[in-house]
Structure 1
């Protein structure tokens, strides 16, 4: 009589529960890194996934067996047109010990961009009257005074920025994505001056990141709909040559119905989850799209027309999906320069 196995490893990580659909298409970071720079800067950016290709580059990882040699590297292409800061939000600790917005300041220089989003489209019609515009500017000038008077209470500043999907015709949308991006580095007074200086002006990715550095990628994975336990959790299918009155692609008991909740695999939503990928290296930041565009454009995307970046390896999400790029919260290594690229593949991509 054979030995009966009474235990098996857990299928699927319990740290990724609940496996449900993401509440937003472009998630923002829950945690921001602390940087030691004396000059304030934004800690994030937003790009749109284009597709993948490959490059040949000189390996500059220290202690690598191929250090100094030419290696093959798959890369992901992201199109990153400039973003526009619209408003400044100041956060201070409330009575419960949690940071909350104490006020929001809109600069007169950012009012010209109100037409780019439908969320505040009615406000743009209101401000076409010169008298209404004057009242609007007076209202927010008092909010700026409130920020300056409470500078010692403020824990951090964030900018409400808008992307410019109009510059990417292949996306097929005009309404921008609005996200909050935290300001890091420097003192609070320097951060406030930096925010007031960039409101209403375009910020390029070169103002936030540099070639060769590591970043974190935050986004939503590909959605695959409702799936069973075999596909969702890699549960071993029961042998089909026995009689299975309840089916072979199912689990046995679901555990106790009372007491501690069970982590037994069950069918449900697969994909379209919020996820974070850490320490993805920026191989290249380029402005000449001819360097990467294949003949006829990328499959299911089209032609890149704006600034682009090449990220090492693959990233989550489907093509045309907005991706949030953040300064690394736990960098594994700090590179001093970008790698030397010897070849970029621009042949037509299949599939």
Structure 2
């Protein structure tokens, strides 16, 4: 009789599986890029729909045919720069050394952080970029422009591409301007999605780790692991147990950015999207689903490991379901 082989259930990559401290993701590393512009953008998850388009993927059996595909709608109101952060290299890695606050900050940002009453006398021209290792910008969202029903913005960092001098010049020129998604991404390219998944609470090991149900003759339950690990040994193997599922930061690589448009009437339903409302700003269509709940913030970044097999041209969209 042949022996049944089965891969190990559950992933050992994400541990500990604790709840995220905040409601939106944090990007810790940025890819290298030659163009002096931000390496990411953020938008609010609206919901899902489907489109029909002419398949332009070179290695599919439906190449040149009209096919249907599920897509996620992301509303992308403009971002604003809160500050420019200067990093120095230390023995513990890059550490923020100084920051220059933007002179034009919305009053809604005071709901998120405590703003200084007086601006610093130090000017941006006084900074010597030779003393620093990296420059990043701290941006905030404008949920007041959407229909999600809040004014408190989200605050997070974005990396900038190019050399140090190019980064500094870009930040200097755009510190009082709004950042649009079309300034960073183009239709047809791929992006990485950083999001906080939906919280499921306390669940058992079958749903959490994907283990199989044991025999009905098993003692002390059939939805539990059969073995809790060795009693002896210097190294204990990780065992599937009950615990927290969801509300954790996850990243999905190489999502296809199918469309970016500033005409929300093309996708809006008469009554709006379920549990979201009407889209009022620029929006993006991403292939498939993305993590997180409706109205949650998803951060899109330049791909860290781009897939060369994926097409870089935008597809010809024939119909958007609404």
TM-score range, shorter chain: over 0.9
1:101 paired to 2:96: yes
Match of 2:18 in 1: 20
- Unmatched runs of 5 consecutive residues or more in structure 2: none
Match of 2:109 in 1: 116
Counterparts of 2:303 and 2:108 in 1: how far apart (Å)?
33
Asked if the contact 2:112–2:153 (Cα under 8 Å) also holds between the matched residues in 1, the reply is no
Indicate the larger mover: 7-16 or 316-325. Answer: 7-16
Kindly state the Cα deviation for residue 294 of structure 1 after the two structures are TM-superposed. Answer: 1.8
Equivalence map 1:301-320=2 (5 Å): 301-320=276-295
Equivalence map 1:134-153=2 (5 Å): 136-138=119-121, 140-141=122-123, 144-145=125-126, 147-148=127-128, 151-153=129-131
Partner-residue secondary structure (3-state), 2:200: strand
Kindly state the Cα deviation for residue 41 of structure 1 after the two structures are TM-superposed. Answer: 0.1
- For the pair shown, the structure with the greater C-alpha radius of gyration is 1
Asked if the contact 1:213–1:282 (Cα under 8 Å) also holds between the matched residues in 2, the reply is yes
Asked if the contact 1:86–1:113 (Cα under 8 Å) also holds between the matched residues in 2, the reply is no
In structure 2, do the counterparts of structure 1 residues 9 and 87 end up closer, same or farther at CA, with 3 Å as the change threshold?
same
Higher helix share: 1
Q: Runs of 4 or more off by more than 6 Å in structure 1? A: 2-5
Match of 1:46 in 2: 42
Equivalence map 1:322-341=2 (5 Å): 322-333=297-308, 335-341=311-317
1:215 paired to 2:191: yes
Equivalence map 1:89-238=2 (5 Å): 89-94=85-90, 96=91, 98-108=93-103, 110=104, 112-121=105-114, 123=116, 126=117, 133=118, 136-138=119-121, 140-141=122-123, 144-145=125-126, 147-148=127-128, 151-169=129-147, 171-185=148-162, 187-238=163-214
User: Could you tell me the TM-score, scaled by structure 2's length?
Assistant: 0.93
Asked if the contact 2:49–2:73 (Cα under 8 Å) also holds between the matched residues in 1, the reply is yes
Indicate the larger mover: 23-32 or 218-227. Answer: 23-32
Indicate the larger mover: 288-297 or 74-83. Answer: 288-297
Kindly state the Cα deviation for residue 335 of structure 1 after the two structures are TM-superposed. Answer: 4.5
Counterparts of 1:49 and 1:42 in 2: how far apart (Å)?
21
Kindly state the Cα deviation for residue 10 of structure 1 after the two structures are TM-superposed. Answer: 2.1
Equivalence map 1:26-65=2 (5 Å): 26-37=24-35, 40-65=36-61
How many correspondences in the alignment?
320
Asked if the contact 2:10–2:209 (Cα under 8 Å) also holds between the matched residues in 1, the reply is yes
RMSD: 2.1
Kindly state the Cα deviation for residue 54 of structure 1 after the two structures are TM-superposed. Answer: 0.4
Partner-residue secondary structure (3-state), 2:106: helix
Asked if the contact 2:262–2:282 (Cα under 8 Å) also holds between the matched residues in 1, the reply is yes
Partner-residue secondary structure (3-state), 1:217: strand
Counterparts of 2:2 and 2:66 in 1: how far apart (Å)?
53
Of 7, 10, 15, 2:8 maps to 10
User: Could you tell me the TM-score, scaled by structure 1's length?
Assistant: 0.85
Asked if the contact 2:112–2:154 (Cα under 8 Å) also holds between the matched residues in 1, the reply is no
- Unmatched runs of 5 consecutive residues or more in structure 1: 127-132, 347-351
